[in-house]
């Protein structure tokens, strides 16, 4: 399949509108290992892999096998004073239900097991059809869904949460890692490799060829003034219909010049996240019972406790993920919303890089939620030693989800939109 890349099978211009700055680009011919970046903002438009279908399918099957092993054996066990407990991976979520935390349990089980499994099955389904030369039913719908699933898979974040949990417990009890723990580590690496190996440009061409470029489209210019926009899932440049709703000609995704009400939605989600961040820090995120003595622990209290134990690196990880990242993301997105109408190309590149950073780091705040889920399931030795979740777990999980949604609803193309000159605005700010 490497011998017949999309460029070799069509003479049509392969136009792409950058999702971050809206620059219209004609993709150059790409060989395996090469990529095409937007000349305006540096965003990667396409990345060609060697043997894309075989590579993705092999990694996806390997990851799925590792996930099944991780779900079938004990994850970790502890022993203190002759009393012990061992848990399976799924118990990190199901145990929370018994403590009246069903929403947190659903978030945990979805992000570490269900969504990754669905994603891997989708990749296998797609690549199997492409390898046999005939796409299987619903392939385009599945391919469109993969890009929406990607941000919500957090196996790598869960591994960090597991390591933090084990370090916190290691000083109080004897810990033994099960087969599931090592299988899940392998799964997290393979899942990451699978997402990185997916050549969406090649995959979409193989599923539905390359439609003709919109008539009159001029590369090297912004797409919106030409009535064009890029499709987020498949990348194809489409002409927007002046009558109203427009759907992608290749994958049927709903398209807009700019994300509708982007700033209003982002502000609303940021406000909700700010409100939820207050109880997330004021209330205990978990309560520890040791020898009959109960001690509630807030996020900051847990960081202080780790410092007192001498675990400075772990304390730094928790403080960064649970305090610096959420607050930094709230401030960064709020600042971008405030200055977006005063952007120009001299600072748009810097602001776009800031947006990329906030979008990337948001999911890592889930470390604290995973720490609570693992410790609650593992430490269950009655009055001798036990841990229960606190009300802050739900509040903090809500902060993570809301800030991730806020980053998704913010349209970075607004950063590059040149505001009209001051002399063309009336006193009420309406352009002529």
Give the lowest-confidence range in 158-172, 176-190, 396-410. 158-172
pLDDT > 70? residue 163: yes
Q: Give phi and psi for 372, each to the nearest 5.
A: -60, -45
pLDDT for position 388: 87
pLDDT for position 428: 33
Residues 167-182 have pLDDT tens digits of 877 767 788 888 999 9
Residues 342-391 have pLDDT tens digits of 766 668 888 999 999 998 888 888 998 999 899 888 887 666 678 888 89
**Of 385 and 422, the one with more pLDDT:** 385
Give the lowest-confidence range in 51-65, 77-91, 197-211, 362-376. 77-91
The DSSP secondary structure of 27-94, one letter per residue, reads PPP--TT-EEE-TTT--EEEE--SSHHHHHHHHHHHHHHHHHHHHHSEEEEEEETTEEEEEETTHHHH
pLDDT for position 208: 81
Which of 217-221, 359-363, 392-396 shows the highest mean pLDDT?
A: 392-396
Give the lowest-confidence range in 86-100, 347-361, 372-386, 397-411. 372-386
Q: Cα 202 from chain centroid?
A: 22
- How many CA atoms lie less than 13 Å away from 157 in the CB half-sphere? 26
**Of 426 and 42, the one with more pLDDT:** 42
pLDDT for position 133: 82
User: Which among 204, 214, 188, 218 is positioned nearest to 48, based on CA atoms?
Assistant: 204
Q: How far apart are CA 138 and CA 154, in angstroms?
A: 26
Q: How far apart are CA 174 and CA 292, in angstroms?
A: 20
pTM for this structure? Answer: 0.88
DSSP 134: S
- List of residues 6+ apart from 215 with CB closer than 8 A: 239
Q: For the packed helices 392-409 and 367-378, what is the interaxial angle rounded to 10 degrees?
A: 150
Q: How far apart are CA 280 and CA 399, in angstroms?
A: 8
pLDDT for position 188: 95
pLDDT for position 382: 64
pLDDT for position 424: 38
* Domain range annotation of the chain: 52-203+260-416
pLDDT for position 72: 92
pLDDT for position 209: 78
Residues 285-342 have pLDDT tens digits of 988 877 667 788 888 888 887 787 777 888 888 888 888 999 999 999 999 999 887 7
pLDDT for position 279: 94
Residues 6-40 have pLDDT tens digits of 666 665 678 899 999 999 999 888 888 889 999 98
**Of 4 and 142, the one with more pLDDT:** 142
Q: How far apart are CA 141 and CA 147, in angstroms?
A: 11
pLDDT for position 102: 92
Mean pLDDT, rounded, for 196-212: 86
Mean pLDDT, rounded, for 204-217: 84
pLDDT for position 311: 75
- List of residues 6+ apart from 290 with CB closer than 8 A: 172, 384, 385
């Amino acid at each position: 399949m490497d011998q017949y890349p999309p460029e070799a099978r069509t003479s049509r211009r392969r136009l792409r509108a950058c999702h971050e700055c809206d620059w219209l680009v004609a993709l150059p011919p790409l060989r395996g290992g090469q990529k095409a970046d937007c000349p305006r903002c540096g965003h990667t438009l396409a990345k060609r892999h060697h043997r894309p279908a075989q590579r993705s399918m092999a990694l996806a099957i390997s990851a799925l096998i590792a996930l099944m092993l991780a779900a079938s054996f004990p994850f970790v066990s502890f022993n203190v004073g002759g009393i012990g407990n061992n848990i399976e991976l799924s118990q990190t979520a199901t145990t929370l239900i018994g403590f009246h935390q069903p929403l947190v349990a659903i978030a945990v089980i979805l992000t570490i097991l269900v969504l990754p499994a669905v994603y891997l099955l989708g990749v296998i389904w797609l690549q199997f059809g492409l390898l046999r030369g005939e796409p299987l039913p619903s392939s385009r719908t599945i391919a469109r869904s993969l890009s929406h699933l990607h941000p919500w898979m957090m196996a790598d974040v869960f591994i960090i949460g597991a390591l933090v949990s084990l370090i916190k417990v290691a000083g109080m009890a004897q810990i033994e890692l099960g087969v599931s723990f090592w299988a899940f580590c392998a799964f997290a690496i393979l899942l990451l490799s699978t997402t990185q190996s997916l050549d969406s440009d090649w995959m979409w061409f193989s599923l539905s060829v390359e439609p003709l470029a919109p008539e009159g489209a001029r590369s090297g210019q912004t797409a919106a003034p030409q009535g064009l926009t890029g499709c987020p899932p498949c990348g194809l440049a489409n002409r927007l219909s002046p009558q109203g709703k427009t759907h992608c000609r290749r994958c049927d995704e709903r398209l807009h010049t700019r994300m509708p009400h982007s700033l209003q939605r982002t502000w609303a989600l940021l406000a909700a996240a700010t409100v939820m961040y207050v109880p997330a820090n004021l209330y205990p995120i978990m309560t520890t019972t040791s020898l009959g003595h109960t001690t509630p622990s807030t996020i900051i209290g847990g960081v202080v406790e780790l410092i007192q134990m001498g675990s400075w690196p772990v304390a730094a990880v928790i403080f960064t993920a649970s305090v610096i990242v959420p607050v930094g993301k709230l401030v960064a997105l709020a600042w971008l919303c405030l200055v977006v109408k005063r952007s120009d190309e001299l600072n748009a590149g810097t602001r776009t890089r800031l947006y990329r950073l906030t979008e990337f780091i948001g999911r890592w705040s889930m470390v604290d939620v995973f720490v609570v889920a693992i410790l609650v399931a593992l430490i269950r030795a009655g009055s001798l030693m036990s841990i229960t979740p606190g009300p802050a777990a739900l509040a903090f999980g809500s902060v993570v989800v809301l800030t991730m949604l806020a980053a998704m609803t913010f349209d970075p193309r607004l950063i590059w939109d040149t505001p009209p000159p001051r002399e063309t605005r009336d006193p009420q700010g309406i352009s002529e």
